[in-house]
Structures are given as structure tokens and as C-alpha cells.
Structure 1
């Protein structure tokens, strides 16, 4: 299987006071021309936010921004009038469109661990919107959960011909991985998996084109991005 393995240790690690983050792709002060994203997937930031800290109000536009809270609770407030709490097992999708301002604060007494994911939209300057769902894959392991996609079967609608799925896979269990678009990109949140001849550990990811299957070498949580081919 032709594949590109993105090792966890090749991520950018930035620690700045209250924020400890690992960037899968170039972001902010960390830049590496080898890691600029895959297809329309531009950002995967693995953030740990200290208690009583967070991101103050800041703007976004023309980006699909997906937040996956793994531990703790993050408080969101935006210029669309949303004031929400996103707890572990919940997902948020903010389509920034023509522009939105928001803040993300950890108002609790313990750190928040979350993933922030950015996907380029296939339409520009659309009206911003906000979506949030509960989907904890630990409650229904060994199956794919479709978090976001362009069609009505997805829990949240994304403005791109891409799907985002997640699963908790128990040790020894297997799931198929076959793109409906063109490119598979599997990011391992925790645990360890095998895809073809490749062992992929927590924090690492693998991009490949062919259909395959994923086996948990030990209990694992993964995100699978089913991405379109992008023409230069």
C-alpha cells in the first residue's frame, strides 16, 4: 500500500504559558513546508488548555472549524449570539463563512484537552453558522460514527465534499477504511493501530488512497478524514 506516515514526533510542539499544543500541520509560529495539510484538511491542533485560561475573542472567515473535546469542558461565545459549553464527547462545527468572532475559554479547575480541526470550504463567503452534537464513540465502540459531511446522513453539515468519522476500536477489532472521495487520512488520538503493514501510534497519522482496514493493536480512538482530490 502506498502511504504517507506522519509521525507524532514530527508535529510542531508549542508551549506558551497556559497553552500546550501539538500542530500536525504548519500553524501560527510553527512552520514546516513539508506539513501544510492534506487535500482540504488544513489544521489538526492537539490543544491542552490550562484551568481558567483560553483563547480570547478572535476572528475567522471562510473556514470549517471542527472542535472535538476529549477531556474537560470548553466554553464558547461568538458574534452569532451562541454561548455554549462543549464537554468531553461533544463536537462543535463552526462554519465561519463571511466572518465570525468567537472565544474559547476553560472556566474549570482542570485542563481541557481538545482537537481543533480546520477544513477549507468549497463555497466562499457563505452565511456563518454553528452546530453542536453529542457523540461519544466510547459508548458504541467498533463502529464508525459520521460526525460531519456534505449530505443529510451526517450529524453535522460541512461545506466541503469531505466526511469526518470517528471510532473507538477495541484491541483486536477491525474496521474497513475505504474513501468515498479519493484520499484517506487517519489520525490516531489514542492507542495504537495497524493499517496494512504500517503501525500507527497515538498522535501519528497516515494518508493513503487504496481501500484498507484498521486493526487496533491496543484500544484506540481514531478520526478518519475522507477527503477529495484537490487540483493544483
Structure 2
């Protein structure tokens, strides 16, 4: 397939009081049948959460829920007994399995910026699990950092034939994109990159079954989802 661009301006934009969010795919009250996910990737919500607000206790099941905090810290609490903060540069993976209830609250004064990502699992009704790691690509730019994968030795184990990697890439540097599972979805957090002749900017995503070099035209940060063909 040719490399496609999911432009930032085509994301859903929702602003309700304490929450401002941009939805890459249909979510909640924002629905667009053109944007229902790619392969097993179902949700990327780019959230700004005002101080002393957040998502109260609510349930999930049979979903791999990945949180990437970009600025600030969010307080997490769940029915598995986990409680604590997820700070900028940290990642959380909650495999909801048979069911879990959780809350995510910004207990501070400053706005928290995070990405909430949902991936459909390939195993249903498994025991819920919780994982959290520190992995800030700003500390080691110009290389891939594996966040989650299906292998036992991955930093966080995900119940899907999917790898999630992130990187910060300095201007004119490049990284190789070689898919294991068949579909590349590259979400650009900031900057400007080129992949297979297409240019993506902050908030855009590049989608392709082709591999090749990913080049930064400006200092950039992004997440690469290596997804199964479905």
C-alpha cells in the first residue's frame, strides 16, 4: 500500500470543562465511520487534563490500555490494588482482561498532557494485569525505545502481535522502520518527519505496509505501532 496520512485536523476535537481531547479514532460522543482504528489499534486520545480533575472510577474489560504521560503527573488507582503516580516520561499498560475499574486524576495545579491508547487484545477474558515503566526517549535520542511487545522479554507485555516503540529524532537524523507484523502506524507527537515520500507533522499519523527510513525534517518525537495485518 502507499503511505497514507491521517491528518491532525481530521481528528475529533472535544472540549468539556476540565478536559480537552483530540481523538484519532471514533470515541465517546465523537463518531466518524472513516476513523474506526487501524488493525488492532482502536484509540489514540491526546488529552489535556486541568488541575484537580480527571477520570473518576470506571470499568474496562478486554482491552490493552496504554498511557503515555508527556507533561505533568497523573494519579492512578485501580481495583487490582495498584495506586500511585505516572509522571512525564513514564508509561503504564493496564491489560483489562476479565474486567478492572480504575481512576486517573490530576491532583496537581498544572495541566497534564497524556496520550491514552487502546489496543484490542488477541486473548480474551485473561486475568487483568498492571505494568509501569520509565522510558523517556529525550534521554537517549536518535534510537528506538521498545515500550511494549508480545515477547516475554519486552519491557511491558501486551496481549497482541504488536510492538510499541518511541523515539526522539534530531533534525536530519533517521531511523529504520522494519515491521515484524505487517502494518506501520507512526503517530507524530511533535516535529516533522518524512516516510516513503510523505511528510507528517505534529498530530498527524503515517500509515503503511511498506518499510524504509523515517527522517526528521525538524527535531521530532513519535510513537511507532507495529501492528498485525487484519
TM range (shorter): over 0.9
| Runs of 4+ with >2 A deviation | none
Kindly report which structure 2 residues correspond to 1:100-115, keeping only aligned pairs within 5 A, or say none.
Answer: 100-115=100-115
CA distance in 2, matches of 1:225, 1:174: 17
Contact 2:54 2:105 in 1 (8 A): yes
2:3–2:196 contact (8 Å) kept in structure 1: no
Q: Give 1:164 deviation, angstroms.
A: 0.3
1:41-69, Cα deviation, whole Å (9 max, x unpaired): 00000000000000000000000000000
Stretches of structure 1 that go unaligned for 5 or more consecutive residues are: none
CA distance in 2, matches of 1:56, 1:33: 28
Q: Residue 143 of structure 1 corresponds to which residue in structure 2? A: 143
**CA distance in structure 1 between the aligned counterparts of 2:229 and 2:197, rounded to whole angstroms:** 24
The CA distance in 1 between the partners of 2:153 and 2:199, in whole Å, is 31
Q: Residue 133 of structure 1 aligns with which residue?
A: 133
Q: Which residue pairs with 1:178 in the alignment?
A: 178
Q: Secondary structure at the match of 1:110?
A: coil
Question: In the aligned structure 1, how far is the partner of 2:5 from the partner of 2:218?
Answer: 19
Deviation at 1:158, TM superposition (A): 0.2
Distance in 1 (alpha carbons) for counterparts of 2:48 and 2:79: 24
- For residue 161 of structure 2, what is the aligned residue in structure 1? 161
CA distance in 2, matches of 1:153, 1:124: 22
Structure 2 residue aligned with 1:97: 97
CA offsets, 1:122-147, max 9 Å, x none?
Answer: 00000001000000000000000010
Aligned Cα root-mean-square deviation (Å): 0.7
Unaligned runs of 5+ in 2: none
Post-superposition CA distance 1:13-41 (Å, at most 9, x none): 00000000000000000000000000000
User: In structure 2, what is the equivalent of residue 86 of structure 1?
Assistant: 86
Residue in structure 2 matched with residue 63 of structure 1 by the alignment: 63
SS of residue matched to 2:207: strand
1:9 aligns to what? Answer: 9
Task: Report the Cα distance in structure 2 between the residues aligned to 1:192 and 1:158, rounded to whole angstroms.
Answer: 29
Q: Size of the alignment, in residue pairs?
A: 230
